[in-house]
Amino acid sequence: MKLFKSPVKNTAYLLYRLITPVFDPIRFYEGIVGYPRYIKQLIQYKKSDPRTPIRLRDLYPVVNESSPFTPFDAHYYFQGIWLLKELLHRKPPLHVDVASKYEISGYISLITMSEFVDFRPINTHLKNLKITRGDILHLPYASNSIPSISSLHVVEHIGLGRYGDEINTKGTELACKELSRVTKTGGLLYLSVPIGKPRVCFNAHRIFDPESIIQFCKPLELLQISVVDDNGKYITNTNPKRYKNASYSCGLYIFKKP
């Protein structure tokens, strides 16, 4: 997460993170502030259309979405655009996605044959899409077999127990090695991961020195890196060294297996 310049704000945010799993004070505050508006709007709606009944069991108060801008995660927004643009350009015969946000595999199936791998697979059916149960540390593929593979905002979680996986301090490094193993000679690996000053945000994610990811993926060679920086700006084909001191940027790596 992005750090604040104010120590007071950092302390407050830390307390918020620690108590949120059992009590979310921001949503409680939004409820207190938003409920009067909700009741006012409900009365207004009823007066405008008194013949249409609204039953008590059909009331769905949503009091925290009245904002001038739609909530926006720049990492996830731009990484999807980045990957789809690359696949449209390269048109691989098959693309395997490992545990990225599940919508991505469906979009890819409109471009080429797609396979989605996750140890918590989704239950759906689409033309050109295969769903496979698999562990990113033990992928169900032979070495040098996949021509095009991606894993976006995934490897930073491996080994932290967040998704029911076992604790493993080398989880990210091992995941990168496994993705590299199955990539076919001449094939491409698309990888996104938080970059900046290295740290572990247990048990959410890790942030990595941008050059350490390059080491984890050897013998694959880096073709290029794009970045979504701390301010949410999307920068294509840049130098990873520029982001060593970032707080929470996103590195978008394209590797090729020689």
Q: What is the pLDDT of residues 51-110, one digit of tens each?
A: 998 988 888 888 888 888 888 899 999 999 999 999 999 999 999 999 999 999 999 999
Residue in the block written with tokens 């709606």: 45
- Cβ-based neighbours of 107, under 8 Å, separated by 6 or more: 80, 84
* pLDDT for 120 beyond 70: yes
Structural domains in the chain, sorted by start: 7-58 (no CATH), 74-256 (3.40.50.150)
Q: What is the pLDDT of residues 192-201, one digit of tens each?
A: 999 999 999 9
Provide the token pair at 207: 């942030």
Q: What is the pLDDT of residues 89-101, one digit of tens each?
A: 999 999 999 999 9
pLDDT-derived band of residue 171, with 50, 70 and 90 as boundaries? very high
The predicted structure's pLDDT at residue 4: 64
Q: What is the pTM (predicted TM-score) of this model?
A: 0.89
Looking at the DSSP bridge assignments, the partners of residue 199 are 207
- Cβ-based neighbours of 105, under 8 Å, separated by 6 or more: 97, 114, 115, 116, 129
Provide the token pair at 47: 């007066």
Q: What is the pLDDT of residues 189-233, one digit of tens each?
A: 999 999 999 999 999 999 999 999 999 999 999 999 999 999 999
Query: Helix or strand or coil: residue 129?
Result: strand
- CA 245, CA 201: separation in Å to the nearest integer? 16
H or E element that contains 252: strand 249-256
